[in-house]
Amino acid sequence: MSAAEVNFDGLPGPTHNYSGLAEGNLASERNRRLTANPREAALQVLAKMKALADAGYAQAVLPPHERPDIGALRALGFAGSDAEILASAARDAPRLLAACSSAAAMWAANAATVSPSSDTADGRVHFTPANLVSHFHRALETPTTTRILRAIFDDESRFVVHDALPAAAHLGDEGAANHTQFVADDNERGVELFVYGRVALDTSSPAPRRYAARQTREASEAVARLHELDPQRTVFAQQLPDAIDAGVFHNDVIAVGSGCVLFCHERAFLAQEELLRALREMIGDAFQTIVVREKDVSLDRAVATYLFNSQLIQRDDGTMLLVVPAECLEDGAVAAYLERLTRGDGPIRELLAFDLRQSMRNGGGPACLRLRVRLSEAERRSIRANVWLNAELHAALAAWIDRHYRDRLTADDLGDPALLDECRRALDELTRMLRLGSVYPFQRP
């Protein structure tokens, strides 16, 4: 049965703020302590989702996480009532409080790695939630992400949601931000590309000097085994260390692929020409590459505008739509390149730009905000949760955001116990709206 790619976008949570927690993410570091607008952040992402759904592309929703994470603060030695814990953390450990208040789960590309049923030995869609061990604030996400995925994809005859890999540095796993599935025909097995930043157990392998690489080869290989993939149709490639040092903390900051098209910078991968040849041999003559040269768009400009952190979506006629952040059209070199790209005879023929500035200031563009899941019609019908974005759900979510989200939030507001209450009330209502059951710690006995 024909399958199609679905984008599950993560909604920014009520504690969306700019604490600058992600080392190596230049936008996150640069915008530390700006005043955030959680309501605007959520509405910007919802507007992107609606525009794509209205254009006929399958679109679904992933909910925010409960924040601040009181359980994590208790585990770190803070005691008393929830309000007392927040007050003492704000006073004595504001950086820990910021980490436990992060709304970074909005970047759903880091939620999990997903392999479609066409590629797996048991014919089920496989999910492995990312352990995100490179940053404490993101490692907190894994348990809730796992519960949410199991609530949505609850038909065990069609889906399997694995446990995350062990939380160890040499098994650092950052999810689908470092994974791409290529497929030349919807009814065929695909080729899965796993991209890693370092080989953890080989100190002689190339490594960045300025920033730590987050994804390890060992983690990528483990996920491929868990998903029961065909080794003959699985490729492992290493990021260029210099690109990581330039701010390419995940592969999706420098490359994006879909169908049988790969759009990347010439400084994306080690041994890039060998990698492209290997992919062409596996995928066949339908495989197309668009490699952006440094002379057209420098690596620094690509990182600053998030040109490659774009969504590449196949249109009905087989050509591609590229969904970019508005910043791409505000940079002269990038805008000129995109003009030439879409007017040429290559596969990318349409361009859509969205204002996602609230997310972009924390280092997350269109591709960061979505988890791609290739599903057959039968697999889609088996999902009972109310996560498919349509006019009714869009209206309900927009009204929900207006009711529950603040339009101003700073790091100093994170210790406000009212913010925790607001978040819990909002999420309790949202889980009923989306028919997810009790997925948050405050909802569970």
**Active site members:** 174, 250, 368
Q: Minimal CA–CA distance to 223: which of 172, 156, 154?
A: 172
Q: Minimal CA–CA distance to 72: which of 441, 445, 444, 443?
A: 441
Token pair 């910078």 is found at 265
Cα dihedral 202, 222, 8, 237 sign: positive
b/e sequence 328-367, b meaning 16+ C-beta within 10 Å: beebeebeebbeebbeeebbbbebbbbebebbbbbbbbbb
Question: From the CB of residue 270, how many other CB atoms can be counted at a distance below 10 Å?
Answer: 15
HEC secondary structure over 310-333: CEEEECCCCCEEEEEECHHHHCHH
The answer to whether 238 touches 195, Cβ cutoff 8 Å, is yes
The answer to whether 227 touches 119, Cβ cutoff 8 Å, is yes
Token pair for residue 335? Answer: 């805008």
The answer to whether 308 touches 252, Cβ cutoff 8 Å, is yes
Q: Could you tell me whether strands 3-10 and 59-62 are parallel, antiparallel, or unpaired per DSSP bridges?
A: parallel
